[in-house]
Structure 1
Amino acid sequence: MLQLFEKAKQTPHKTAIVAGGNHYSYQTLLEKSEQISSFLLGEGQDLSQERVAFMVAPGFDYVAVQWGIWRAGGIAVPLCISYPFPSLQYVIEDTQSKFLIVGPEYESILQPYRNHSETKFIALGEMQNRKEKPLPEIGKNRGAMILYTSGTTSLPKGVLTTHANLESQISTLVKAWAWSSEDYILELLPLHHVHGIINVLCCALWSGATVEFLNPFDAKQVFEIFEGGKLNVFMAVPTIYYKLISAFESYSPERQAELKKCMESFRLMISGSAALPVSVMEKWKEISGHYLLERYGMTEIGMAVSNPYDGERRAGHIGQPLSGVELCLLDEEGKLVNPGEPGEIHIKGPSVFKEYWGKPEATQKSFTSDGWFKTGDIAVLDDGYYRILGRDSIDIIKSGGYKISALEIEEVLRKHPSIKDCGVIGIPNEEWGELVVAALVTSEKIDLEQLSTWMRERMPAYKTPRRYLVLEELPRNAMGKVTKNELKKLF
């Protein structure tokens, strides 16, 4: 990510970040991140790929910490600010993070790490006035970041990307989507996820653009920021577009007309992280004048496929491979499919991740013998544009921009004393893409509201089922495996 810092030095006085009513220049960002690097290095000269987990609210401090970790030679491990403690603990301990940087809002939840023997707890406020020291040379093939993805197993996997991977992911998008220093974007996506970190934050800062933070999401505030007239690029997930449409429809015709005029002046609007219902795409076009650009990516590969910036954007399609990305569709025997036939997307290129952290077998299984990454997504080439058909595994649910492992949720549900068995699936839903639902076999009558509360204490809210169905028994095949397609019919 050296280029990211070199580019920041070219526009020192330009506003990089707007957060909490304050404006921060690229120079301020470089200075603050250097302070953090010096603090982390202490008496050492290089973190040498030590993992540094951090839980910091979206805004200037988040970016300064992320940059500080990279500049000190560490691997950044951003933690999700809405996770319950067990989910945070899993990531911190799976990565064997040497440091844990904690913003003031999150000190209480991470209190158990205050006197931890393996992980040094650092309150954000402690990282002040450290004497600057020489920063290490960072090779591009070093590890840069670990983000967690659900995968098809019950426990999330850490995706390790190198500095070279990240530079490839960012530079590819900067070119494809015509980023420039004149751009101004709103950041309201989660910052433990490739969409928020790479597509929004890093692409903007790489280009010398300005990023304004809004957390938590609030439709009314989004529209007020739109009316401020500075924004010209907007990226969100389908769920956010759905909520913005609902808010827009509650406004007076006069306000709607003003907002439409304001949105029409934007340069680019993008949707991703989940399939965009065509109805939402068409409604957004009607209210904003923009035909949303859809694209396709994963934590493991960054963005790989996109509808064109200039040219036809086709509803229900992810577009064509980005520059430098090799893509092929293979059948179950590993043979190339004919045009118009469905196959699993396989990807090759400099943006593809290095490995699943600490999981050599999972890494090996996810690549073919000749180096193609197996995405698990089924697509078809439809008149020059790729169209996603779904997952090859019914155990992955795409909801609100997240990929969620049904197996992980089932494991937690089964720990409840009244639940004998369960099956978790995703059912189609216009707002969320898919809604997480669960069928239960119980040993006694169960209060479903209390169960929801119990689940939210153990898992992030977006993973907890929105609907439950209590059954005498789950439908199974001859091998005793739950037949989830039959389960879907019951919902």
Structure 2
Amino acid sequence: MHTLARKPWLSQYPVGVPADVDLSGYTSLVDLLETAFREHAPLEAASFMDQSFRYQDIDNHSMALGAWLQSLGLPKGARVALMMPNVPQYLVAIAAVLRAGYTVVNVNPLYTPRELEHQLKDSGSEVIIILENFAHTLAQVIDHTPIKHVIVAAMGDMLSFPRKQLVNFVVRHVRKLVPAFDLPSSSQRQVIRFNTALTQGQHKTLTRRAIGLDDIAFLQYTGGTTGVSKGAVLLHRNVLANTLQCEAWFRPRIDAIGHRHLTMVCALPLYHIFALTICYFIGCRLGCRNVLIPNPRDIPGLVKTLSKHRINMLPAVNTLFNALLNNPEFAKLDFSGLKVCFGGGMSVQKATADQWFKLTGCPIVEGYGLSETSPVATANRLDISEYSGTIGVPISGTEVVLRDDEGNDVAPGQPGEICIRGPQVMAGYWNRPDETALVMTPDGYFKSGDIGVMDENGYVRIVDRKKDMILVSGFNVYPNEIEQVVNLHPGVLECAVVGIPDEHSGEAVRLVVVKRDPNLTTEALAAYCKENFTAYKRPRKIEFRDALPKSNVGKILRRELR
């Protein structure tokens, strides 16, 4: 009873979901991967450009690439940067780096030269595996980085002949997606093609290194939404724990589906922690087929790919769910196999969730997490049938408390900063003890920077980012609340709210809207806001735009609007 009083969320768990997870059967993430490769060997691990790749293929290729990496003589724990979209080479590279005893540094392939230089220098990466489409960015800064070895992949590298040649020709010469780059080999630097490294690695032996739960698996750089990009140090323990936590949470639903071989859409980029854990590691654990989507912004292309598969699981962010709903061809797909739609990365809007459920019959189950929590910390039950407006309850082995600015726990129903403790919480920020000290409490909680409210059953509702809060004449205004309501207006496609300086009230609310109905006016929207919000919450300024600034995962960037 004492435990339930302290952890009221345990009473909300579905039957079969444990209060904790057990890592004792594993020495590292490598154990989990190699078990998956062995148990699911003949099953399809990925589908890419209409070609299948089995778990056995990923196993063999990653062993060869890992052996090649070890032949470079790098010390255990050396950082290897991966800069690719969702291509099969990425699946191989993650496993290869971990099996070789090194640390993966995931890099956003759309980074500018300045952002790339910062991450490579900050992480101390000596090796980079990069898709040639982005090699021109690397070429501009490589001399200012510690990179000594470059492995250049091409889009079609892992496809069979003659499709490989055709895809690479189209990408390079028809669609012109590979800008010219100059990355010559020299006495200081080796530049090699991905397939050449694989071939050479097949004649080498992968040495089994002693890799433990407290070794670093990933340096996962934060998106920079809260300032300078920092590397969250994710140990093997952290990502392994979160994989097992998510599996425990998914298991009752998956057992109820009864499918032996589930198909998951991997449209979120694998360099982002959400797809990395949910699609890659959970996918391996469950023996799923991942449908790899290299460019999720091409919605017509995505829908065309989806039409070729019977999809069971779709992790996505609100903007992607919304974009699919606004594509007329998407409505024609067969949704009978769709059983799990997991929303994260940003708030799922009620308007999107309601419309999605009406069309597909599968609810969007919202969860919550951060790069620093590997990522999932809370989730709604997968057997819900309607939008809850909450981020759910803490998952197995996770504790969440809400605290005020003085570090005191707040009462149920009162807003406070969401603080998370559990085996998935990072070891700290890479080489940033000062930054680590700002977010880790003496009793082991990670301070998320998000303001939430927890009810008496342990369900948490986010009211906003701490720094996005708008202070109007001493009243707190949370942009999420305004956005949720404005998004319900039939004439609104999407919107964002930020604070602007105001000489009378200190700050005022500014609303930026992308229209669904071209005839929508500021007057009509102002009247709608007057009807729905008390005076201090109403937008002082309303403006229309053709698009909102977004990160590469589709998260709306309020700081850019500010």
TM over 0.5: yes
- Equivalent in the alignment of 1:434: 496
Q: Check 1:111–1:16 CA distance in 2 against 1; reply closer, same or farther (3 A cut).
A: same
Which aligned pairs between 1:110-129 and structure 2 lie closer than 5 A?
A: 110-112=138-140, 118-124=146-152, 125=193, 126-129=196-199
- Equivalent in the alignment of 2:63: 34
- Equivalent in the alignment of 1:15: 44
Q: Check 1:204–1:49 CA distance in 2 against 1; reply closer, same or farther (3 A cut).
A: same
Match of 2:222 among 132, 149, 152: 149
Shift of 1:382: 3.2
Which aligned pairs between 1:84-99 and structure 2 lie closer than 5 A?
A: 84-99=112-127
Q: Check 1:152–1:223 CA distance in 2 against 1; reply closer, same or farther (3 A cut).
A: closer
Which aligned pairs between 1:167-182 and structure 2 lie closer than 5 A?
A: 167-178=240-251, 179=254, 182=261
C-alpha contact (below 8 Å) 2:268/2:553 kept by paired residues: no
In 2, distance between residues paired with 1:367 and 1:465?
A: 25
Match of 1:265 among 334, 337, 345: 337
In 2, distance between residues paired with 1:42 and 1:266?
A: 44
Shift of 1:9: 1.2
Shift of 1:462: 7.2
In 1, distance between residues paired with 2:288 and 2:560?
A: 45
Which aligned pairs between 1:372-391 and structure 2 lie closer than 5 A?
A: 372-382=445-455, 384=457, 385-391=459-465
Shift of 1:432: 5.8
Match of 2:383 among 298, 301, 310: 310
| Partner deviation per Cα, 1:38-96 (whole Å, 9 max, x = no partner) | 1111163x741111112123121011111111111111011111111111111111101
Which aligned pairs between 1:274-285 and structure 2 lie closer than 5 A?
A: 274-285=346-357
Which aligned pairs between 1:8-407 and structure 2 lie closer than 5 A?
A: 8-42=37-71, 44=73, 47-112=75-140, 118-124=146-152, 125=193, 126-129=196-199, 130=201, 131-133=203-205, 134-150=207-223, 154-178=227-251, 179=254, 182-217=261-296, 218-248=298-328, 256=331, 258-259=332-333, 262-301=334-373, 302-311=375-384, 314-382=387-455, 384=457, 385-394=459-468
Q: What one-letter code is carried by the residue in structure 2 that aligns with 1:155?
A: V
Shift of 1:395: 8.3
In 2, distance between residues paired with 1:279 and 1:93?
A: 43
C-alpha contact (below 8 Å) 2:126/2:147 kept by paired residues: yes
Q: What one-letter code is carried by the residue in structure 1 that aligns with 2:464?
A: G
C-alpha contact (below 8 Å) 1:204/1:211 kept by paired residues: yes
Shift of 1:222: 3.3
C-alpha contact (below 8 Å) 2:110/2:134 kept by paired residues: no
In 2, distance between residues paired with 1:113 and 1:212?
A: 33
SS at match of 2:372: coil
Q: Check 1:117–1:221 CA distance in 2 against 1; reply closer, same or farther (3 A cut).
A: closer
SS at match of 1:300: helix
| Partner deviation per Cα, 1:318-346 (whole Å, 9 max, x = no partner) | 11110110111112222221111111111
C-alpha contact (below 8 Å) 1:269/1:292 kept by paired residues: yes
Q: What one-letter code is carried by the residue in structure 2 that aligns with 1:227?
A: S
C-alpha contact (below 8 Å) 2:33/2:95 kept by paired residues: no
C-alpha contact (below 8 Å) 1:181/1:207 kept by paired residues: no
- Equivalent in the alignment of 1:5: 34
In 2, distance between residues paired with 1:97 and 1:282?
A: 44
In 1, distance between residues paired with 2:109 and 2:236?
A: 24
Identity of aligned residues (%): 25
Q: Check 1:50–1:435 CA distance in 2 against 1; reply closer, same or farther (3 A cut).
A: farther
Q: Check 1:467–1:102 CA distance in 2 against 1; reply closer, same or farther (3 A cut).
A: closer
Q: What one-letter code is carried by the residue in structure 2 that aligns with 1:118?
A: P
SS at match of 2:146: coil
In 2, distance between residues paired with 1:117 and 1:273?
A: 30
- Equivalent in the alignment of 1:472: none
Q: Check 1:465–1:213 CA distance in 2 against 1; reply closer, same or farther (3 A cut).
A: closer
In 1, distance between residues paired with 2:79 and 2:204?
A: 21
- Equivalent in the alignment of 2:541: none
C-alpha contact (below 8 Å) 2:317/2:555 kept by paired residues: no
| Partner deviation per Cα, 1:71-123 (whole Å, 9 max, x = no partner) | 11111011111111111111111101111222222222211456667311322
SS at match of 1:283: helix
Q: What one-letter code is carried by the residue in structure 1 that aligns with 2:59?
A: L
In 1, distance between residues paired with 2:399 and 2:553?
A: 36
In 1, distance between residues paired with 2:269 and 2:113?
A: 17
Shift of 1:376: 1.2
Shift of 1:372: 1.1
- Equivalent in the alignment of 2:185: none
In 1, distance between residues paired with 2:404 and 2:554?
A: 32
C-alpha contact (below 8 Å) 2:272/2:553 kept by paired residues: no
SS at match of 2:59: helix
Q: Check 1:55–1:85 CA distance in 2 against 1; reply closer, same or farther (3 A cut).
A: same
SS at match of 2:335: helix
Shift of 1:467: 11
Q: What one-letter code is carried by the residue in structure 1 that aligns with 2:131?
A: G
| Partner deviation per Cα, 1:253-305 (whole Å, 9 max, x = no partner) | xx84x43xx21431111211111111111111111112210011111011011
- Of 285-294 and 218-227, deviating more is 218-227
TM (norm. structure 2) is: 0.68
C-alpha contact (below 8 Å) 2:225/2:557 kept by paired residues: no
Q: What one-letter code is carried by the residue in structure 1 that aligns with 2:468?
A: I
C-alpha contact (below 8 Å) 1:80/1:191 kept by paired residues: no
Over aligned residue pairs, what C-alpha RMSD do you find? 3.0
TM (norm. structure 1) is: 0.78
In 2, distance between residues paired with 1:43 and 1:22?
A: 31
Residue segments in structure 2 that go unaligned for 5+ positions in a row: 1-28, 153-192, 471-478, 488-492, 502-548
Shift of 1:230: 2.4
Q: Check 1:210–1:375 CA distance in 2 against 1; reply closer, same or farther (3 A cut).
A: same
In 2, distance between residues paired with 1:267 and 1:460?
A: 26
- Of 136-145 and 326-335, deviating more is 326-335
Q: Check 1:466–1:312 CA distance in 2 against 1; reply closer, same or farther (3 A cut).
A: closer
C-alpha contact (below 8 Å) 1:296/1:306 kept by paired residues: yes
Q: What one-letter code is carried by the residue in structure 2 that aligns with 1:307?
A: N
In 2, distance between residues paired with 1:151 and 1:23?
A: 36
SS at match of 2:468: coil
SS at match of 1:109: helix
Q: What one-letter code is carried by the residue in structure 2 that aligns with 1:51?
A: R
Q: Check 1:335–1:142 CA distance in 2 against 1; reply closer, same or farther (3 A cut).
A: same
| Partner deviation per Cα, 1:350-372 (whole Å, 9 max, x = no partner) | 01011101100111121111111
In 1, distance between residues paired with 2:558 and 2:462?
A: 25
In 1, distance between residues paired with 2:441 and 2:386?
A: 32
C-alpha contact (below 8 Å) 1:238/1:433 kept by paired residues: no
